[in-house]
Chain A
Amino acid sequence: MPTISLTQSLVISLIQCVLVVVFIFVVVPLTVFAERKVLGYLQQRLGSTRIAGHLGGLTGLLNRGMWKLGKVPVLSYWRGLPGLVGDVMKMLLKEDILPTKADKFVFWIAPALSFVASVVVFATICFVPGTFFTFPTWVPFLGGLPVSGGIADVNVGLLWILGMATVGVYGIVLAGWASNSKYPLLGGLRSAAQMVSYEVPLTLSLLAPVLISGSLKFSEMSQAMAVGVPLWAIIPQVIGFLIYLTCGFAETNRVPFDMPEAENELVAGFHTEYSGMKFGFFYLAEYVNMTVVSAMAAGFFLGGSWLLPFGLQGVVNPYLASLPSWLVTLLCEPHAAFFAIKIVFLLFVFIWVRGTIPRYRYDQIMAVAWKYLIPLTLVNLVLAAAVRLAM
């Protein structure tokens, strides 16, 4: 273990941060695109197909290849992908409107707050426990130094995630307040009340993994929930997972709970008065939050960077040890790819639910949070504690 200087650790952290920011700016547009396509197919249409790219471009190449293979390129899953560039250009170039009645500083700071709070959550999410890769020795300044699989796998990781995820509420409330208009104010208040209500069952449902692993560190919790638990951990945590996912949908204001964007009653909710890149920040923050919720669900309940979820990996591992060694490495060892696949699957679930479940009424949303989810999470927690006691 080579000793590490301040400058070296700063450089390594900066590299990791750049990786995470790149990850965000790759995953978010692809999720937006996937949302259009998947929603389209769920509603028996083709999704966005108009912008298919120049014939000489990548999509043109793919489309021509599909013609040659005898497939109709209209069904090409990549059609519409270049439209993402148009989206980004539009957000950057659209006129910024600053309403005369608005509180100018807060109006400006709210979307940035939303964005920063959603990105900073990634600090303690650990993609692979331990070392992600080690710099080869020929690298000039950083040769031989390990880069860990998370930016900072600190011992209060879960607290950091929960705390920073809550800061995102401020962005929404401040946006609604600063607009000084009736729809944004109502939308902001409603979504604040909703997010605050679902915060409680969310925290309580995450207490069960904490209780099982005895740690708040993301990698330790993920490991304990994937390989560290014997068979009994499987059943109770399915309930915890479903409760967590429900609360995650509500926290990110996604469809069955998308009160702030209830178009038919509140126009566009808290971002009615926003345009251009300021709106783009809210849009970005929503998808980053989706990724964070998916990453946490994958890490705590679906086995993180291990193959199997809900502690099944720990059950199966002894039986797999007789397999060929490369297969054991693949099936029993953590990989960032497994984590990424689980995140992508959960993002697909987000879109799937959006295409399937209609929006609830506001009083129904609050009733679900306070009357059903909180008692359920408490029962789940007591059950987990009792089972842990019995072990």
Chain B
Amino acid sequence: MSQSVHPFLPVLVLFLAALVVGAAILVISGKILPAFLKPNHPRPEKLTPYECGVPPLQEGARHRYGIQFYLVAMLFILFDVEAAFLLPWAVQYKGHLGTFWPMLSFFGTLLVGYIYVWGRGALEWEC
């Protein structure tokens, strides 16, 4: 039951359609409307970064921030790769005992790593 010459062709069409709609809205609101309707009165104060109304205390904003964010990203990579590894298993599982025990051992390995990470305090948010 296919309505298309290639199953992924409509995905491409929707992607292009979304791009066109997005670009059209941006062009209308950013290029066409300012020509006659939209106000445009930039002032230096208006264009400074917003810090509750006072002048910015430091130059720029890209200073050091918590290492915790990197830790979360690393943990995400680990666990998401495992989720990606589980997807083909879940599709092919179909209630076979032959794939159940290997996957349970995989879960066991995962659990060891998870307990280790928890024990080291990587899941505590400190900031």
Contact = CB atoms under 8 A, between A and B. Distances in A.
A100 B13 CA distance: 37
A93 B33 contact: yes
Interface of A: 4-6, 9-10, 12-14, 16-18, 20-21, 91-101, 108, 112, 115-116, 119-120, 122-124, 130-131, 145-148, 151-155, 159-160, 177, 179-186, 189, 192-193, 196-197, 199-200, 203-204, 207, 210-211, 214-216, 267, 272-273, 276-278, 280-281, 362-363, 366-367, 370-371, 374-375, 378, 381-382, 385-386, 388-389, 391
A120 B8 CA distance: 13
B109 interface: no
Contacts of B100: 385-386, 389
Nearest to A16: B10
Nearest to A361: B125
Nearest to A374: B79
B50 A9 contact: no
A4 B3 contact: yes
A20 B14 contact: yes
A267 B52 contact: yes
Interface centre among B34, B48, B72, B127, by most chain A C-beta atoms within 10 angstroms, is B72
B114 A374 contact: yes
A203 B47 contact: no
A297 B47 CA distance: 42
B11 A193 contact: no
B23 to A, nearest CB: 7
Interface residues of B, number: 77
A121 to B, nearest CB: 9
Given A116-B22, A119-B21, A272-B50, A95 B65 contact: no
A180 B50 CA distance: 10
Given A13-B4, A123-B10, A366 B72 contact: yes
A367 B126 CA distance: 11
A388 B91 contact: no
B11 A200 contact: no
Closest 7 CB pairs of A and B: A181-B49, A277-B29, A363-B125, A13-B10, A152-B10, A13-B13, A119-B18
Contacts of B15: 116, 120, 123
Interface string B10-40: 1101110111011101101110011001111
Given A193-B73, A382-B104, A389-B97, A112 B8 contact: no
Contact of A200 (B46, B48, B80): B80
Contact of B93 (A92, A95, A159, A211): A211
Contacts of A197: 72, 76
B47 A100 contact: yes
A98 B47 contact: yes
Nearest to A194: B72
Contact of B3 (A12, A119, A181, A210): A12
A20 B11 CA distance: 12
Contacts of B65: 185-186, 189
Nearest to A159: B87
A160 B39 contact: no
A216 B29 contact: no
Contacts of A382: 104, 107
B13 to A, nearest CB: 4
Contacts of B1: 130-131, 148
Contacts of B8: 152, 154
Contact of B94 (A147, A183, A214, A374): A214
B112 interface: no
15 contacts: A10-B9, A17-B10, A116-B19, A120-B18, A131-B3, A146-B3, A152-B10, A179-B49, A180-B60, A181-B49, A204-B86, A207-B90, A210-B90, A370-B123, A371-B123
Contact of B22 (A16, A281, A375): A281
Given A200-B79, A211-B90, A151 B33 contact: no
